Amino acid sequence: MERFEVFTGAGRRRDWPSEVKASIVAESFTGLETVCSVARRHGVSPSQLFAWRRLLRQQLVEQGAAVPTVSAFVPAVVTIDEAKPAVQQRTKKRRRSKTSAVELEIDGVAVKISRGADAGVIAAVIEALKATR
């Protein structure tokens, strides 16, 4: 069962005890879930939690202590299996739809642009339509 709060009437500033703030901020640095999901679960605005994290970092830098970080990226390792070909040929040809990729309508004039159309030609057509307005 989760705890929830109901706020009625005009909103007011909540006064978070420092122990509660510290536990929420520490939880946001674990890297197990996003900062926004931690904030949402505790009923805190994500921007408020980011501000608390920034304040903690500033305090730790001033004290010369280690600043917590969360690694979001890991190195990628690519291996090629020699038993399988690197590129497999498709046996079925993909059908492209005959419908237009982009349809523009400017002042009652409709232009349909299909896939593979030249960008310069498209730009010239659009400019010509603008000029006739």
Task: Provide the CB-side half-sphere exposure for 94 (13 A, CA).
Answer: 4
- What are the tens digits of pLDDT across the range 69-80? 765 666 667 777
What is the fold of 18-63?
A: Arc Repressor Mutant, subunit A (1.10.10)
Domains of the chain, residue spans: 18-63, 102-131
pTM above threshold 0.85? no
| Overall average pLDDT of the 46-60 stretch | 91
Two tokens at 34?
């996003």
Q: Rounded mean pLDDT of 29-47?
A: 88
Q: What is the mean pLDDT of residues 80-94?
A: 62
Task: Give the residue with greater pLDDT, 48 vs 80.
Answer: 48
Q: Is pLDDT above 90 for 50?
A: yes
> What is d(CA 124, CA 111) in angstroms, rounded to the nearest whole number?
12
Q: How far apart are CA 6 and CA 26, in angstroms?
A: 25
